[in-house]
């Protein structure tokens, strides 16, 4: 009897283990839909519009990946996640990838068993305070009440910043950006801290954005990027190179307007040709069709177009390119060669 | 030759396992046991397989690692350099706090509402019916969010308490209701607090003795002694007398304030401007009246300072000699000869303080300082859980009272017992045996519902261990197992304590 229990257990184990290791790329293709974890709502980065269609900077990455894999940028099932639920959702396989302004850190990459596909926004943590407080530096915040999203790196940076400067504060933990905004506007906290881009996005939705100021101190490095589960390298490659394709497209001047024309026939630049599949077999190397990059770029434009459309200087968020300019313009955005 | 015939053999055939009632139940039990074990082994092996597929190990070592995050409500010492285990402890204490507060208030509310719902007064009875039905039929999470939203949106910000603002403190400037919480005076323990506590404990014993004596006298002679007044008097008078006596003696003592590097008879203002210009570090025993009075002195002089907490007078001297603080007050009774080298008494001195003093909250830079802050998250969670569970308890109480036959009341009235005594001495003791068992479940419900705390940012164990810690370390399985274990143990303790009480009040059969 004991033996049969053992065999039964072994069989079940084998089945389960087999299922857990199946390739995400095949799953997505079979499902015909990409499960993409996004923020619960942060203007410019990921929020549903008036018609309930998700749009934003991070959302565009999901759409580009869906377009590259499935040829359809709308074949995405957006799963809103909070700071606390996002990693469990990704680790458990509920979502295939997470594009939710998540900071690339050592422990998340190694201990939490994720792989970051790259950086789509170089950010840093800042503080938002009402102008009426008369605070000009984060070091003046001794004794202040600070709203902070739980389960984030910003929570740890905040503790370190106040500890290093030997000043005290009272944390008010909140779950989502919307909750933080409500608490902050009600005056239940003196300051709100998160990534500076998030602060700008939040402030843009206020009734009187001019009454609030983002303090000059940036207290941390926050490289934000999409991530996938560790161990499924094929799928990680797909996400990584889709992001790189968007970046490279900006560098080579491939936009959503001219991508169809450029991909119709081989042009003069061999790297653009390889990228758009008119030369070589790059798509086959990552298990996709040869028009994968073309589809990804056509979905929402290249990196620069996505930036300008969602969070650029002409949007209410009004973020300058800064560190997120192409390396050719003195920024940090840089795609490895397509070859 | 043998004549005995063969005894029929009680041979066992496998078919008996199914058709013989003697064996059938055994067969079913064995099969059920095997199925259960198979299920369990599947769960365990599935977990192991999935953990290894994810490349995760099973290890509780993370509890010793640095937590790195801050918690606003701490009942024990904690900062961001403490371990995850310590953070879990802070969360556990916060959970227990809300459970104890909630169960106490829910009992009071529930018993009152349950009794009043049976009132003959139409308005009172119907008001209670509205309360019970309203709270019982709407999810508790909604009540938590509603009360929290009311507290944050409809109360003034601390800023509004400044001159020109439209908010003011209440109860003689001692309580401030803000959208960050309610600030109330905090007690500080001074010299003689131990004596005061001892007197109070002795008077509690006195109350117990008095009540037993009164009971005995009534049993023997029928004479009713004033139990209520006696209890009240014993509760208040000795403690109040001890307080007055201590205040008149040690409370009048003045203590010098020593400053390192000061000149003789220098005032605090001169010291701040002169030798202490690079910053004031004050050594004081946190929570003592000396520290409170020292802080009041510093505040009156509008001097900015850092508090260096020390354990006692000797530690304060050691800290001053090590250069960690330049201002200190020594607890009364310290030998003047031990004053650290270079320290000179300032011209101001402070009162040693009464055995118990209350520090009022005062408006500081961003927020109220001093006093005790009851955060909105605590208040919202406490009120919502208590009112919600109270509605269920009210129904239990009503059911219990209705279960006592009406003849009991009539008999009591016929004997000339007053209605209030009838309820207290005749009805409730009989009703309790019906009320207590379902009440246990309500206490358990309240304790477990407190895990909704995260909705309002109350840092209970679900938010610390089960929230931030899991998120930062990625130890979901370990964290959730610990969390489940904690709630299991807490629930078992509550129910066994209540079962003990139940066995005391249940119908005794002699």
Write out chain B's pLDDT in tens, 510 residues: 556 566 666 677 888 888 888 888 888 999 999 999 999 999 999 888 888 877 777 888 889 999 888 888 888 888 888 999 999 999 999 999 999 999 999 999 999 999 999 888 999 999 999 999 999 999 999 999 999 999 888 888 888 887 777 777 777 778 888 888 899 888 877 777 788 889 889 999 999 998 899 889 888 888 877 888 888 888 888 888 888 888 777 777 777 777 777 777 777 777 777 766 667 777 777 777 777 777 777 777 666 677 777 777 777 777 777 777 777 776 666 666 667 666 777 777 777 777 777 888 888 778 887 788 899 999 999 999 999 999 999 999 999 999 999 899 899 999 999 888 888 888 888 888 889 889 999 999 999 999 999 889 899 999 999 888 988 888 888 999 999 999 999 999 999 998 888 888 777 776
Among A220, A250, A272, where does a domain finish? Answer: A220
Q: What is the largest CA-CA distance in chain A?
A: 77
Architecture of domain B84-185+373-505: Orthogonal Bundle (1.10)
Residues of A in contact with B180 (CB under 8 A): 145, 170, 172, 188-189
Q: Is the domain of A215 the same as that of A229?
A: no
Residues of B in contact with A150 (CB under 8 A): 454, 457, 463, 467-468, 471
Partner-chain contact A171 B369, CB within 8 Å: no
Q: Is the domain of A230 the same as that of A311?
A: yes
Total number of domains constituting chain A: 2
The reported pLDDT for the residue numbered B419 is 86
Q: Is the domain of A170 the same as that of A202?
A: yes
> What backbone phi and psi angles, to 5 degrees, belong to B348?
-80, 150
Residue A141 domain-assigned (yes or no): yes
Place of tokens 């009503």: B398
Neighbours of B249 (CB within 10 A): 12
Q: What CATH number does the domain located at B255-351 have?
A: 3.40.190.10
Residue A334 domain-assigned (yes or no): no
Q: How confident is the model at residue A11 (pLDDT cuts 50, 70, 90)?
A: very low
Partner-chain contact B179 A87, CB within 8 Å: no
Q: Percent of chain A beyond pLDDT 90?
A: 44
Residues with Cβ within 8 Å of residue B320, at least 6 apart in sequence: B258, B260, B283, B326, B328, B340, B343
Q: Which of B472, B473, B476, B478 to mutate to test the interface with A (most CBs of A within 10 A)?
A: B472
- How many residues are present in chain B? 510
Partner-chain contact A12 B46, CB within 8 Å: yes
What's the domain range around A186?
Answer: 125-220
Residues of A in contact with B474 (CB under 8 A): 87, 91, 107, 111-113
Partner-chain contact A21 B52, CB within 8 Å: no
Select the more confidently predicted residue: B351 or A295.
A295
Q: Is the domain of A273 the same as that of A212?
A: no
The reported pLDDT for the residue numbered B331 is 65
The reported pLDDT for the residue numbered A5 is 45
Neighbours of B134 (CB within 10 A): 13
A124-138, A302-316, B268-282: segment of lowest average pLDDT: B268-282
CA of B426 vs chain A CAs: smallest distance (Å) = 50
Partner-chain contact A91 B457, CB within 8 Å: no
Partner-chain contact B72 A171, CB within 8 Å: yes
Q: Is the domain of A112 the same as that of A248?
A: yes
Determine the angle formed by the axes of helices B476-505 and B428-449, rounding to 10 degrees.
170
Residues of B in contact with A211 (CB under 8 A): none
Residue A309 domain-assigned (yes or no): yes
Q: Is the pLDDT of residue A3 over 60?
A: no
Minimum-distance CB partner of A9 among B42, B376, B459: B42
The reported pLDDT for the residue numbered B7 is 61
Instruction: Report the first-to-last Cα separation within chain B, whole angstroms.
Output: 67
Note whether B284 and B294 are within 8 A (CB).
yes
Compute the distance between CA of residue B301 and CA of residue B239 in angstroms, rounded to an integer: 35
Minimum-distance CB partner of A143 among B38, B72, B366: B366
The reported pLDDT for the residue numbered B457 is 87
The reported pLDDT for the residue numbered B281 is 76
A190: domain CATH number is 3.40.190.10
Closest CA relative to residue A126, chosen from A158, A165, A151:
A158
Token pair for A321: 């390119």
Partner-chain contact B472 A5, CB within 8 Å: no
Report how many Cβ contacts below 8 Å link chain A to chain B: 136
Q: What is the 3-state secondary structure (H, E, C) of B298-330?
A: HHHCCCCEEEEECCCHHHHHHHHHCCCCCEEEC
Among A220, A241, A275, where does a domain finish? Answer: A220
- CA nearest to B377 within chain A: A172
Minimum-distance CB partner of A1 among B34, B153, B179: B34
Secondary structure (3-state) at A237 = helix
Residue A18 domain-assigned (yes or no): no
CA of B385 vs chain A CAs: smallest distance (Å) = 20
- CA nearest to B178 within chain A: A188
Continuous H helices in A32-103 = 57-70, 86-91
Neighbours of B484 (CB within 10 A): 11
ipTM for the complex shown: 0.74
pLDDT tens by residue, A27-68: 999 999 999 999 988 888 999 999 999 999 999 999 999 999
Closest CA relative to residue A191, chosen from A105, A239, A126, A256:
A126
Q: Is the domain of A229 the same as that of A104?
A: yes
Q: How confident is the model at residue A16 (pLDDT cuts 50, 70, 90)?
A: very low
The reported pLDDT for the residue numbered A8 is 46
Q: Is the domain of A230 the same as that of A209?
A: no
Q: Is the domain of A111 the same as that of A159?
A: no
Q: Tell me how far the alpha carbon of residue B78 is from its chain's centroid.
A: 17
Closest CA relative to residue B453, chosen from B375, B378, B374, B389:
B378
Partner-chain contact B365 A13, CB within 8 Å: no
DSSP state of B262: P
Q: Is the pLDDT of residue A236 over 80?
A: yes
Residues of A in contact with B53 (CB under 8 A): 17, 20-21, 231
Compute the distance between CA of residue B84 and CA of residue A153 in angstroms, rounded to an integer: 16
Compute the distance between CA of residue B125 and CA of residue B442 in angstroms, rounded to an integer: 23
Among A186, A220, A254, where does a domain finish? Answer: A220
CA distances from A38 to A103, A192, A201, A241, A289 (A): 14, 21, 15, 20, 26
Q: Is the domain of A321 the same as that of A233?
A: yes
Compute the distance between CA of residue A295 and CA of residue A2 in angstroms, rounded to an integer: 56
Partner-chain contact A173 B457, CB within 8 Å: yes
Q: Is the domain of A233 the same as that of A316?
A: yes
CA of A212 vs chain B CAs: smallest distance (Å) = 16
Token pair for B412: 């009591």
Q: What is the mean pLDDT of residues A196-205?
A: 88
Note whether A239 and A157 are within 8 A (CB).
no
Pairs from B207-211 (Cβ < 8 Å, separation ≥ 24): B207/B231, B207/B234, B207/B235, B210/B234
Minimum-distance CB partner of A156 among B41, B68, B364: B68
pTM (two decimals): 0.77
Residue A13 domain-assigned (yes or no): no
Residue A187 domain-assigned (yes or no): yes
């Amino acid at each position: 009897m004991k033996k049969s229990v053992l065999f039964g257990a072994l069989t079940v184990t084998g089945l389960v283990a087999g299922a857990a290791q199946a390739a995400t790329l095949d799953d997505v293709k079979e499902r015909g839909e990409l499960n993409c974890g996004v923020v619960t709502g942060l203007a410019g980065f990921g929020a549903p519009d008036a018609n309930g269609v998700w749009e934003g900077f991070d959302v565009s990455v999901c759409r580009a990946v869906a377009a590259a894999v499935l040829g359809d940028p709308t074949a995405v099932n957006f799963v809103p996640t909070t700071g606390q639920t996002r990693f469990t959702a990704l680790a458990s396989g509920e979502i295939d990838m997470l594009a939710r302004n998540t900071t690339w850190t050592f422990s998340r990459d190694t201990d939490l068993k994720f792989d970051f596909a790259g950086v789509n926004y170089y950010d840093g943590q800042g503080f938002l305070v009402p102008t009426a407080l008369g605070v000009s530096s984060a070091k003046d915040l001794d004794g202040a009440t600070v709203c902070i999203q739980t389960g984030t790196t910003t929570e740890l940076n905040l503790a370190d910043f106040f500890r290093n400067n030997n000043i005290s504060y009272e944390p008010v933990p909140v779950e989502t950006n919307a909750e933080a905004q409500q608490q902050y506007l009600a005056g239940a906290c003196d300051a709100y801290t998160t990534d500076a881009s998030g602060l700008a996005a939040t402030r843009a939705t206020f009734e009187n954005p001019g009454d609030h100021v983002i303090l000059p101190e940036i207290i941390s490095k926050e490289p934000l990027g999409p991530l996938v589960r560790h161990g499924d390298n094929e799928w990680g490659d797909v996400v990584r190179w889709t992001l790189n394709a968007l970046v490279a497209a900006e560098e080579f001047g491939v936009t959503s307007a001219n991508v169809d024309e450029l991909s119709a026939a081989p042009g003069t630049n061999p790297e653009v040709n390889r990228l758009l599949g008119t030369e070589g077999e790059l798509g086959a190397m990552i298990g996709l069709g040869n028009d994968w990059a073309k589809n990804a770029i056509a979905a929402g434009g290249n990196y620069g177009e996505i930036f300008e459309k969602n969070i650029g200087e002409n949007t209410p968020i009004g973020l300058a390119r800064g560190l997120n300019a192409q390396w050719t313009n003195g920024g940090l955005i840089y795609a490895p060669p397509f070859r | 030759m043998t004549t005995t015939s063969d005894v029929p053999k009680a041979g066992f055939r496998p078919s008996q396992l199914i058709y013989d009632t003697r064996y059938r139940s055994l067969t079913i039990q064995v099969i059920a046991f095997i199925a259960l074990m198979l299920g369990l082994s599947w769960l365990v092996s599935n977990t192991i397989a999935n953990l290894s597929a994810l490349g995760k190990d099973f290890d509780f070592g993370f509890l010793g690692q640095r937590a790195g995050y801050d918690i606003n409500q701490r009942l024990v010492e904690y900062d961001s350099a403490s371990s995850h285990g310590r953070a879990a402890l802070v969360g556990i204490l916060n959970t227990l706090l809300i459970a104890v507060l909630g169960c106490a208030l829910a009992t009071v509310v529930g018993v009152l509402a349950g009794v009043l719902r049976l009132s003959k007064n139409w308005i009172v009875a119907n008001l209670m019916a509205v309360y019970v039905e309203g709270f019982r039929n709407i999810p508790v999470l909604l009540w938590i969010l509603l009360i929290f939203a009311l507290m944050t949106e409809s109360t003034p910000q601390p800023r509004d308490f400044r001159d020109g603002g439209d908010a003011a403190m209440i109860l003689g400037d001692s309580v401030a209701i803000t959208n960050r919480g309610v600030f109330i005076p905090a007690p500080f323990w001074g010299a003689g607090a131990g004596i005061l506590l001892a007197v109070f404990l002795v008077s509690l014993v006195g109350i117990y003795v008095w009540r037993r004596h009164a009971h005995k006298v009534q049993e023997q002679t029928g004479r009713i002694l004033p139990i209520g007044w006696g209890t009240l008097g014993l509760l208040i008078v000795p403690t109040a007398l001890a307080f007055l006596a201590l205040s008149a003696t040690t409370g009048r003592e003045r203590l010098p304030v020593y400053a390192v590097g000061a000149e003789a008879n220098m005032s605090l203002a001169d010291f701040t401007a002169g030798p202490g210009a690079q910053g004031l570090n004050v050594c004081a025993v946190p929570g003592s009246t000396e520290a409170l009075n020292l802080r009041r002195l510093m505040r009156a002089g509008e001097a900015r300072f850092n508090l260096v907490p020390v354990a006692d007078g000797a530690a304060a001297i050691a800290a001053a000699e090590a250069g960690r603080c330049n201002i200190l007050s020594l607890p009364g009774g310290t030998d003047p000869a031990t004053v650290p080298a270079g320290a000179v008494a300032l011209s101001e001195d402070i009162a040693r303080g009464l055995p118990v003093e209350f520090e009022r909250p005062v408006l500081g830079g961003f927020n109220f300082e001093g006093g005790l802050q009851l955060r909105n998250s605590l208040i919202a969670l406490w009120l919502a859980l208590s009112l919600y569970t109270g509605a269920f308890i009210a129904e239990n109480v009503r059911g219990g009272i209705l279960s006592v036959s009406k003849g009991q009341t009539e008999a009591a009235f016929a004997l000339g017992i007053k209605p209030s005594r009838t309820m207290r001495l005749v009805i409730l003791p009989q009703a309790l045996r019906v009320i207590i068992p379902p009440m246990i479940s309500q206490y358990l419900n309240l304790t477990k519902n407190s895990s909704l705390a995260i909705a309002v940012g109350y840092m209970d164990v679900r938010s610390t261990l089960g929230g931030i810690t899991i998120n930062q370390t990625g130890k979901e399985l370990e964290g959730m197992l610990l969390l489940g274990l904690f709630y299991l143990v807490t629930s078992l303790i509550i129910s066994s304590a209540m079962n003990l009480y139940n066995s005391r009040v249940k119908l005794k059969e002699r």
